[in-house]
Chains A and B, each alone.
Chain A
């Protein structure tokens, strides 16, 4: 806990700290199947370099982002915004140790590479279209 006696804040809803509760969390689809991990978060637009209106509504989370972040985590920076897949916040149904979505992972653009590998490569290997016996 902080060792300074700052006033405690009160909250009207569930509190989430982005780095603590959201970044790198596993995301499960409605069936509990792993879909992707949260690599970043997109919030509604904030004017950069312009005075902020204190009476304006605060930004909200628009999307969870997933994408190729291994190299940028190692060497710094972040992938271009266009390389990140966006999963709208409205699909999130629960937040715990993992985040849960209310839709199937097949409906997400973020999992297209897995589906492509499954259908075009694994599926063409003899025995690749059914569970191991």
Chain B
């Protein structure tokens, strides 16, 4: 699967209600060891409630300058959340979440921000 086919899809909960747009896909390099790097495992998806686009990940890290831009983007992406891969029930024209899906903070670990 090509990742750009997944990004920008609508994300629906188990009742079919739109909960946001898929704006990014999170990988963790903790898979099977490879020749140089371990496998990059798909950990989850970043869902934005407000917009289908994102800009420099301001809503996911501790960057706070330029102040006005940071505040605007923080406001625009308010309520963004991470959903683990195992909480995805099906993918077709949209991403369907399981009834038990959990909203997690989309923040990046501080050492990567």
A residues near B (Cβ < 8 Å) are 1-4, 6-9, 11-20, 40-52, 54-55, 57-61, 65, 78, 81, 84, 89-95, 102
Contacts and interface: CB of A to CB of B under 8 A. Distances in A.
Nearest to A77: B4
Contacts of B46: 17
Contact of B105 (A7, A45, A92): A7
Residues of A contacting B: mostly: loop
A94 B77 CA distance: 30
Given A2-B106, A19-B7, A61 B27 contact: yes
Interface of B: 1-5, 7, 23-31, 34-44, 46, 54, 56-57, 59-62, 74, 77-82, 84-92, 98, 102-109, 112
B35 A19 contact: no
A126 B27 CA distance: 49
5 contacts: A1-B59, A2-B79, A20-B54, A46-B1, A49-B91
B89 A9 contact: no
A89 B34 contact: yes
